[in-house]
Amino acid sequence: MKFLVTIEPGTDDTAWGVAVPALPDCFSAGDTLDEALDNAKEAIEMQIEWLLDHGQPIPVGQSNALAATVRADPDRSGWLLAVVDIAPEVLDATMERVNISLPRRVLYAIDRAAAGAGKTRSGYLAEAALRMAAEH
């Protein structure tokens, strides 16, 4: 899926700023254009994950009218336009069965913790894995 982004060029003293018009709360920056675009991709993926986790719709099908509107916005004079490509797996909430191997004592600890949190084993493991992935 492709997302149009607007880029405020950086200078020797300021970072390159990136905004994602389709995701109004999604911003990023970087010391170089490449870094800014890489950071924008990560910000978009995190915003999509948040939207999915909270049952919110994912904006799709951006039109060329958006690009024209951004160009005409006097507050964004001199800004650049780019497209950031997001892997379709980021949007895929399809459940998939996986096979993992764990020592029984670990599985027992997971099941106790999941029950204490009012979650299923799968839900507990998914939440823990996402939390760990966000830290790295």
pLDDT at 54 over 80: yes
* Cα–Cα dist 4/132, whole Å: 29
* Cα–Cα dist 111/106, whole Å: 9
Q: Are 39 and 28 in contact (CB under 8 A)?
A: yes
Tokens of 29: 């920056």
Beta-bridge partners for 29: 17
Residue 96 lies in a domain: no
Number of domains present in the structure of the chain: 2
Q: Are residues 83 and 127 both part of a single domain?
A: no
Q: Are residues 77 and 120 both part of a single domain?
A: no
Task: Give the model confidence (pLDDT) of 59-100 as tens digits.
Answer: 865 545 455 555 556 666 678 889 999 988 877 778 889 999
pTM over cut 0.85: no
Rounded mean pLDDT of the chain? 86
Residue 30 lies in a domain: yes
Q: Are residues 81 and 115 both part of a single domain?
A: no
Q: What is the CATH number of the domain that holds 8?
A: 3.30.160.250
Domain that holds residue 131: 104-135
Which of left, alpha, beta for 61 (phi over 0: left; psi -120 to 50: alpha)? left
| Angle at CA of residue 67, ends 63 and 71, nearest 5° | 160
Residue 98 lies in a domain: no
